[in-house]
Amino acid sequence: MKKLKLAAVAALVLLGASAATLYITGKNYVYRALYYNFAGIDDNRIFEERILPARAPQPWPVSRLYNRQPLPAAFASKQEQLKAVAFLVIHRDSLLLEKYWNGYGPESLSNSFSVAKSVVSMLVGVALKDGKIKSIDQPVGDFLPEFKQGRKSKITLRHLLAMSSGLNWDESYSNPLSMTTEAYYGNDLKSLIHRQEVETEPGKEFFYKSGNTQVLALVLQAATGQSISAYAANRLWKPLGAEHAAEWSLDKKDGVEKAYCCLYSNARDFARLGQLYLKNGIWKGDTLVPPAYVKASLTPTHLPDKLSGAKGDFYGLHWWLIPDYKGLEIFYARGILGQYIIMVPEKELVIVRLGEKRGEKKGMHLQDVYDLADAALGIVK
């Protein structure tokens, strides 16, 4: 009995010491991370947010072939296994097919996760058009004083967009003490960003890090004088004729957007973002993103991947690229749980998939992308 009491006291002391350490080091977010365990597509219920209101909705024209062709059985089965909640195909500017699972529908909000990174890239293009940013080769220090000194002073917007900043962000999704976990569950993104340091020379290698996008968001906020939610709402969401309001999660009430992730919308409205880039930044005659910037975004950086050593053509400026799949060019945005906006320009296709799981990696891409493209191509052939 005495041994049990001693063990209980020791456990309490250890817990107390751990709690004190987390408090002193400012890592109280770990409790939240452990409580919720893994990020999910409905996490807007647990975070503060800013609303991107819709205005003058422009519903998608519906194809005369709408939902006439069933999904291939093997494809549908795999989507169910991967807990898809939405699959949508836009062909030649019209809604050709949509399928929903697990109680989700055309109006259901779902987390974009890293698809939001590509939206931030779009906003950089918008800021260039508006004259808020002179060039993507501008130093970050022109906008953020914390980047004016030392090795950080060498980082440009291009480096951030190309995932080649050299910053020491820890992209781990499973470590409760990682920067990514702190960014998701913590409440002080600015402090987290300012703590980053340069560990490798900017512009030399591709190293996927969510911190790059978060820095870009702070640049946009400084350049425009607006939150990125307000800027996106006024310069993208409303002009695109979104049918429903979107939400962007914040680190705290009236705080900073989690720009690297956490833009909540539905499949139909996400498809508008893809259609905009499919049309080189032009929406129904109005230039929202400069075509020259769209082209630059979709041009491979040819930087080697730090982790695998892969060289070449897989990434542009916050967009994933497949220059040749069965003779077709594909570019896309993607999120950690199988969120995709995929464009096939030659076939005038926009494909959106939302869900809770993704498939296996295949080189720098995922098998999902090829499966989704094949399914859509099979429908329009």
- Residues 118-172: pLDDT tens digits? 999 999 999 999 999 999 999 999 999 999 999 999 999 999 999 999 999 999 8
Specify whether 100 is located in the same domain as 26: no
pLDDT: is 310 or 270 the higher one?
270
DSSP 19-33: HHHHHHTT-THHHHH
Model confidence, pTM: 0.92
Within this chain, do residues 174 and 276 fall inside the same structural domain, yes or no? yes
Q: Looking at the structure, do residues 51 and 191 belong to the same domain, yes or no? A: yes
pLDDT at 180: 93
pLDDT digits (tens, 9 = 90+) for 29-73: 776 767 667 899 999 999 999 999 999 999 999 999 999 999 999
pLDDT in tens, 96-105: 999 999 999 9
Residue 177: band (very low, low, confident or very high) from pLDDT cuts 50, 70, 90? confident
Q: Smallest Cα–Cα separation from 327: which of 344, 350, 349, 348? A: 344
Q: Kindly report the number of other CB atoms within 10 A of residue 310's CB atom.
A: 15
Residues 193 and 240 placed together within one structural domain of the fold:
yes
Residues 29 and 126 in one domain: no
**Average of pLDDT values for 189-214?**
97
User: What pLDDT is stored for residue 25 in this prediction?
Assistant: 45
pLDDT confidence tier of residue 312, bands split at 50, 70 and 90:
confident
Q: Does residue 2 carry a pLDDT above 70? A: no
25 shares a domain with 75? no
Computed over every residue of the chain, the mean pLDDT equals: 93
Distance CA(134)–CA(152), nearest Å, equals 19
* Burial profile 214-234: b = 16 or more Cβ within 10 angstroms, e = fewer: bbbbbbbbebbeebbbbbbbb
pLDDT beyond 90 at 234 = yes
Nearest Cα neighbor of 377 from 93, 74, 71 is 71
Tell me: pLDDT of 370 over 60: yes
Q: What is the mean pLDDT of residues 70-78?
A: 97
CA–CA gap between residue 289 and residue 178 (Å, rounded): 34
Q: Are residues 30 and 132 in the same domain?
A: no
Helix (H) or strand (E) holding 84: strand 84-91
- Domain range for 301: 38-380
Mark whether 120 and 22 lie in a shared domain. no
The 8-class DSSP code of residue 96 comes to: E
**Band of residue 176 on the pLDDT scale cut at 50, 70, 90:** confident
**Residues 6 and 117 both lie in one domain:** no
Domain total of the chain: 2
- 171 and 31 assigned to the same domain: no
139 and 94 in one domain? yes
Helices (H) and strands (E) in the chain, counts: 12, 14
- Verify that 279 and 251 share a domain, yes or no: yes
Q: What is the CATH number of the domain that holds 113?
A: 3.40.710.10
